[in-house]
Amino acid sequence: MHETFLRLVQGSRIVMQYEVEFSALARYAPQLVSTYAEKCYRFLRGLRDSLRQPLVPFYSSDFSELVERARLVENDLMATHQRWTASRKRFGGDTSSNSRRSGQSGSTIVSGGGSTTSSESVSGAPICQSCGRRHFGQCYRMTGQCFRCGQP
């Protein structure tokens, strides 16, 4: 159990699942978490990079505060991802199946959520030189039209 605690990282678990396992295993290695500062340091070290990096500047030796901050950052990241996914569906649909059907391929872009190909990013449309977005036809920025509805 001591070794398991030393190797413990958040992985794909949510913060609260990680905290439960961390606290359970910490009982088997009390000398490693003998102070609140050590406990916070070990917990922080095991978090995913996307959660740890925003928390480091606000380091706290209050364990419950650290866990709550990590949970809030995680919730914000998930909400941001959900908004991005919703806007992606609204403006071009989930095109990962479209590009596979058409046989397109592109360079791999690795992000926090996995990997996609550049042709899957919005659609098979080319990148516009005027606005930097992917679309077919005349650029709405050049014509002064709304990107959402196409009205002037």
Instruction: Report which of residues 105 and 133 the model is more confident about.
Output: 133
Contact 135/128 with Cβ under 8 angstroms?
Answer: yes
Tokens linked to 46: 């095991």
Q: What is the pLDDT of residues 112-132, one digit of tens each?
A: 444 334 333 445 667 777 777
Q: What is the pLDDT of residues 4-38, one digit of tens each?
A: 999 999 999 999 999 999 999 999 999 999 999 99
**The residue to which tokens 């070794």 are assigned:** 3
- For the chain, give every domain's residue range: 2-91, 121-152
Residue 99 has pLDDT above 70, yes or no: no
Residue 93: per-residue pLDDT: 57
Look up residue 2 and give its DSSP letter: H
CA–CA distance from 29 to each of 8, 11, 45, 105 (Å)?
12, 21, 16, 49
Q: What DSSP string describes 14-81?
A: -HHHHHHHHHHHHTT-GGGGSSHHHHHHHHHHHS-HHHHHHHGGG--S-HHHHHHHHHHHHHHHHHHH
Residue 148: per-residue pLDDT: 66
Helix (H) or strand (E) holding 109: strand 108-111
Cα 121 versus chain centre, distance: 16
Look up residue 103 and give its DSSP letter: T
